[in-house]
Chains A and B, each alone.
Chain A
Amino acid sequence: MRKVAVSGVGLTGIREHWGKSLRDLFEEAALKAFEDAGTDDIDALYVSNMGAANLQRQLNLGAMMADALGKRGIDALRVEAASASGGVAFHEGVKAVASGLCDSVLVGGVEKMSDGLPDEVTASLAMAEDQEYTAYTGITKMGMNALIHRHYMERFGVGAEEIAMFAVRGHEHARGCPHAQYPFKISVDRILSSPMEADPIHMLECAGIGDGAAAVLLRPAGESGDCVEVASTAVASGHYYLTERPDILTFEAVRGAAARALEYAGLSHGDIDLVEVHDDTTITGVLALEDLGFVDKGKGATYVSEGLTARDGELPTNTFGGLKARGNPVGATGLYQVAEVALQLRGQAGPCQVEGAEVGLAQSVGGLGSTCAVTILRRR
């Protein structure tokens, strides 16, 4: 298999883009990635998206976006794996280039959620779960996260403040990030005095909804002088049903994808300089650190509240704010993460820069941990 490099990245700001369509957003990110890579020559396009079928009544995004970019004729398709769509699409793009089948692939994610009414967006996100067994009961994604959150607090004797600190850290990191949706500090008091989203999860512990697009251009490493190479990607699936898991506080798919990605890359946890994890709520951010293997089970919240995930900490985490502060345009989120790791390794992270970052890991989760994509990038 060939080594693959990240040649270009392009991001739109994550906002309420009332005046821009799915296509407008995708074009903006894709053209930035082309400009960054110094080429618009691609032979395949992977479009990651979760909600367009419901929120925009739009499918066939591969052809739509290829046409929008003036790339009629190329191999183009949409990749959907709930909120892991971005990470999974990246994995597919890497496979295409690594295998030699393609020499230049654009992987772009786009999501437009602001236009949807709250119940439409909630119903769309609930489609990550089984409609016949889980979603039909009316439980939302946040409702299930609340069960996990509560159980975590009780089993490990962890307080609400420590878990809420995950959001505080994210917001600290987002300051100065031009593409972040909420680039400002918030206090733990403000989080814990915000309304309950699903007890014990407060509103300000949840990633908001937003519109955005992210694109990365992949080419064989060594051909382009690119300094960021894909060390490995791995996708794993896990228990689909929360009720069938041996332990609801462990996301097996995350453990599986992380172990595989590290093995493929020939790296160990100590080699990772920074991580971008999927914190759609504070508790999933905490579990991510544990299931990726960086922290012992039950110790994640304390690790965060003690400052070890800060930019100058032991394991800089969510260095542009994560889902909570950077934003979570669901189908594009995994590609924001990958692009952010690439910017860190290039030394182009501006005020969010982690000094001396050589290796970074991105974790993209779909459903309630039923799909996980882990990407490891390193400086060449």
Chain B
Amino acid sequence: MMIMRTDSTVGIAGYGAYIPMNRLKASEVNRVWGGFGAPIEEKSVVAMDEDAVTIAVECARYAVNRADIRPEEIGAIYVGTESKPYAVKPCGTIVAEAIGATPNVTAADYEFACKAGTEAFQTCIGLVSSGMVKYAMAIGADTAQGRPADALEYTAACGGAAYIFGLRSDRTLAYLEGSWSYVTDTPDFWRRGREMYPRHGNRFTGKPAYFQHVVGAAKGLMGELGYEAGDFAYAVFHQPNVKFPIKVAKTLGFGMDSIKPGLVVPTVGNTYAGSTPLGLAATLDVAEPGDRILAVSYGSGAGSDAFSFVVQDAITNGRDIDPPVSAFITRKRYVDYSEYLKLRGQILR
């Protein structure tokens, strides 16, 4: 494996996030199923008329707004999700149409469990760097599924973030120093066709899966760039629960201060393909020019993509043009378990 560097420097021209308004408290799951403890406080839940595509469209609109570009300048749109409303029919086309990027655009969907979003990052970065497109948009968005009473029911949440990549200029919010991927065939979590809920290997999802891959990708990138944890102002790690990203940060030498801005999981849940993009968005919301940010995703199956971004002066221009991630977190409405089941299509009339 070689570090992924670009011929021409590529950066984030715009980003946008979206989290549905409904929340289910972990204590509500415990009330119904008689559980104890919880991996998070509460998670986001879609409304009746929301799905992964509407989430992706919301994020995409905010990203275009922040990038201040014409949508038709976007030459590629990739949506990473494991909650496709259609088994066959792309989410990418719907997003492209909704934001006005059609018809001269390439579009597709990506699936790599929770790292489909960052997988799309790398493709977009390559297309821009090679000059094939001027701007490319990568979205990670999910309405994740959790079987009733399964551990995933506490955390499987809804949300996402979109990123527009373009060649580095003084309008670039943060530029990329390099990326590193770490992938093996590790069956820790999967959902077969026509199954409603994913299955997982319990403790197998920890050390041999999440930790091996996240640490592998992070160390690969940091080693190649010659950086230590102290060289990064912030770090974002995939957030399936509260414990894992904190533990992996500690393992890699990052303090709580560096991961805290991007640690949205306690009050949002695990937004799967949206998780790392959302954490990165929350971090960019507070980052200052010159800050270096490490972002490492994790997708079951399994793999991690690591990125090192350096924030530029443009980050402070019109920062409030879009709602920050924190605004979506505080904008909430609680649902009880029965309404949750209805909203997730788990009971039918």
On A, residues with C-beta under 8 Å from B are 16, 18-19, 114-115, 117-118, 195-196
Please state if B207 and A18 are interface contacts (CB–CB under 8 Å): yes
B203 within 8 A of A: yes
- CB-CB under 8 A from B201, the residues of chain A are 117
- Give the distance in Å from the alpha carbon of A117 to the alpha carbon of B36 in the complex: 19
**B227 interface residue, CB < 8 Å from A?**
no
> Taking A117-B202, A118-B202 as contacts, is the C-beta distance between A16 and B207 under 8 angstroms?
yes
User: Can you offer 10 A-B residue contacts whose CB atoms are under 8 A?
Assistant: A16-B207, A18-B204, A18-B207, A19-B208, A114-B203, A114-B204, A115-B204, A117-B202, A118-B202, A195-B37
Q: 8 Å CB contacts to A: which residues of B115-173?
A: none
**Cβ of A196: which chain B residues have Cβ within 8 Å of it?**
36
Determine whether the beta carbon of A195 is less than 8 Å from that of B204: no
A114 to B203, CA, bound (A): 8
Give, as a whole number of angstroms, the nearest-CB distance from B160 to chain A. Answer: 30
Chain B residues whose C-beta falls within 8 Å of the C-beta of A115 in the assembled complex: 204
Query: Residues 191-203 of chain B: 1 if any A CB is under 8 Å from the residue's CB, otherwise 0?
Result: 0000000000111
CA distance A118 to B203 in the complex (A): 9
Contacts of B207 in A (CB 8 A): 16, 18
- Contact yes or no, B202 A195, CB < 8 A: no
Which chain B residues border A118 with CB–CB below 8 Å? 202
Task: Report the nearest A residue to B199, measured CB to CB.
Answer: A117
How many B residues, CB 8 Å from partner? Answer: 8
A115-B204, A195-B37, A196-B36 known, 9 other contacts, Cβ within 8 Å:
A16-B203, A16-B207, A18-B204, A18-B208, A114-B204, A117-B201, A117-B202, A118-B202, A195-B36
Closest to A196 in B: B36
Chain A to chain B: the 6 pairs with minimum beta-carbon distance, closest first:
A18-B208, A195-B36, A117-B202, A118-B202, A114-B203, A16-B203
Shortest beta-carbon distance from B198 to chain A in Å: 14
Q: How far is the CA of A265 from the CA of B348 in the complex (A)?
A: 70
Nearest residue, chain A, Cβ from B201: A117
Residue of A nearest to B212 (CB): A18
Q: Min CB distance, A34 to chain B, in Å?
A: 29
Q: How far is the CB of A71 from chain B (nearest CB, A)?
A: 31
Q: Which of A18, A114, A115 has the most CB of B within 10 A?
A: A18
A173 to B: closest C-beta gap in Å = 25
Which of A19, A114, A118 has most chain B Cβ within 10 Å? Answer: A114
In the complex, A115 Cα to B207 Cα: how many Å?
13
Contacts of A114 in B (CB 8 A): 203-204
Question: Closest residue to B209 on the A side, CB-wise?
Answer: A18
Min CB gap B279→A, angstroms? 27
Which residues of B lie under 8 Å from residue A195 when comparing CB positions?
Answer: 36-37
Closest to B208 in A: A18
Which residue of the partner chain A has the closest CB to B37? Answer: A195
Q: How far is A195 from B201 in the complex, measured between Cα atoms in Å?
A: 22
A117 to B203, CA, bound (A): 9
Rounded to whole angstroms, the CA-CA distance of A117 and B201 in the bound complex is 7
Give A194 to B221 CA distance when docked, in angstroms: 39
B289 nearest CB across to chain A (Å): 43
Q: In the assembled complex, how far is the CB of residue B204 from the closest CB belonging to chain A, in whole angstroms?
A: 7
Q: Which residues of A contact B204 (CB under 8 A)?
A: 18, 114-115
* Neighbouring A residues of B202 by C-beta, 8 Å: 117-118
Bound-complex Cα distance A115 to B209 (A): 13
A114 → chain B closest CB, angstroms = 6
User: Please, which residue of chain B has its CB at the minimum distance from the CB of A195?
Assistant: B36
Instruction: Tell me, in angstroms, the Cα distance from A117 to B205 when the chains sit together.
Output: 12
Instruction: Give the distance to chain A from B250, nearest Cβ to Cβ, in Å.
Output: 17
CB neighbours of B208 from chain A (8 A): 18-19
Q: A117–B207 Cα gap in the complex (Å)?
A: 16
CB distance from B261 to the nearest CB of A (A): 32
Please provide the chain B residues from 197 to 251 with a CB less than 8 Å away from any CB of chain A in the complex.
201-204, 207-208
For A203, give the chain B residue with the smallest CB separation: B36
Contacts of B36 in A (CB 8 A): 195-196
Least CB distance from A16 to B in Å reads: 6
> A117 to chain B: which residues have CB within 8 Å?
201-202
Using a CB-CB cutoff of 8 Å, which residues 32-82 of chain B contact chain A? 36-37
Per the bound structure, the CA–CA distance linking A16 and B202 in Å amounts to 12
